[in-house]
């Protein structure tokens, strides 16, 4: 039986991945700091302390791992803490999933990710992409969306305004610029689950690859 690990299970994308997997009656383990209410019967939660987990944690046997974990500079409080979540935690979970049998890794990154970028966010995402590629997974699926749209647990006024602006800008992003269009979280999650059986190697996915 196929079992997936989901890191970032309470986030926008992770939550949608859980929903997609449960609708397909696929079993999964949601990594979380706190208990998740109303989980579908196919999903088991695994409550962890990420710092302790890095040092001596382990994961149950699994086939796939979805890395949907991430934060913001504002929430992290500093660039150092941001890197801790977006690189250290993610790589640690990926390593332990590989040790537990996972052969496919699916990673949420960002359009423009580049380890040589002068932009801190894009540089961090680029470094994460490179780090997970060195772990020995048979298949690494890297998803590079632009602005993500969806219902988050917390309501952010600035984000609501940004979503409206993004939808307006989408009208002008055509041709080669279409990869910068906003992406619905539900569509991205469906695509991530559908691509688990992609060809071996490193596969990149952009706006035109996502379910519309």
Q: Is the pLDDT of residue 179 over 80?
A: no
Token duo for residue 152: 């988050």
Once rounded to an integer, what is the mean pLDDT over residues 186-195? 96
Token duo for residue 209: 């690859």
Catalytic positions, please?
Answer: 121, 125
Asked whether residue 192 is assigned to any structural domain, the reply reads yes
pLDDT in tens, 120-140: 999 999 999 999 999 999 999
Once rounded to an integer, what is the mean pLDDT over residues 2-27? 94
Q: Is the pLDDT of residue 166 over 80?
A: no
Say which range, 6-20, 76-90, 148-162, has the weakest mean pLDDT. 148-162
Asked whether residue 211 is assigned to any structural domain, the reply reads no
86 — pLDDT class (breaks 50, 70, 90): very high
Asked whether residue 78 is assigned to any structural domain, the reply reads yes
Asked whether residue 29 is assigned to any structural domain, the reply reads yes
Q: pTM for this structure?
A: 0.89
User: Buried b / exposed e across 58-69, counting CB within 10 Å, b at 16+?
Assistant: ebeebbbbbbbb
Asked whether residue 7 is assigned to any structural domain, the reply reads yes
How many structural domains are present in the chain? 1
CATH code for position 148: 3.40.50.720
Asked whether residue 39 is assigned to any structural domain, the reply reads yes
- Mean pLDDT, the chain, rounded, equals 89
Asked whether residue 212 is assigned to any structural domain, the reply reads no
Which domain covers residue 30, as residue numbers? 3-206
Asked whether residue 136 is assigned to any structural domain, the reply reads yes
């Amino acid at each position: 039986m196929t079992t997936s690990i989901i890191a970032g299970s309470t986030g926008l994308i992770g939550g949608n991945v859980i929903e997609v997997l449960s609708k397909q009656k696929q079993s999964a383990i949601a990594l979380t700091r706190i208990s998740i209410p109303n989980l579908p019967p196919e999903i088991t939660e695994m409550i962890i302390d990420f710092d302790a987990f890095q040092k001596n944690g382990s994961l149950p046997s699994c086939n796939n791992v979805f890395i949907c974990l991430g934060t913001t500079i504002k929430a992290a409080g500093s660039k150092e803490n941001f890197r801790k979540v977006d690189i250290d935690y993610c790589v640690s979970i990926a390593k332990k999933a590989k040790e537990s049998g996972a052969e496919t890794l699916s990673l949420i990154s960002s359009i423009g990710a580049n380890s040589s970028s002068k932009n801190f966010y894009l540089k961090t995402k680029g470094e994460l992409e490179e780090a997970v590629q060195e772990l020995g997974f048979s298949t690494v699926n890297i998803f590079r969306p632009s602005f993500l749209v969806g219902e988050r647990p917390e309501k952010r006024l600035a984000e609501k305004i940004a979503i409206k602006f993004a939808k307006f800008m989408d009208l002008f992003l055509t041709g080669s610029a279409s990869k910068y269009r906003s992406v619905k979280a539900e569509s991205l999650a469906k695509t991530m689950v559908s691509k688990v059986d992609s060809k071996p190697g490193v596969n990149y996915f952009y706006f035109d690859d996502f379910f519309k």
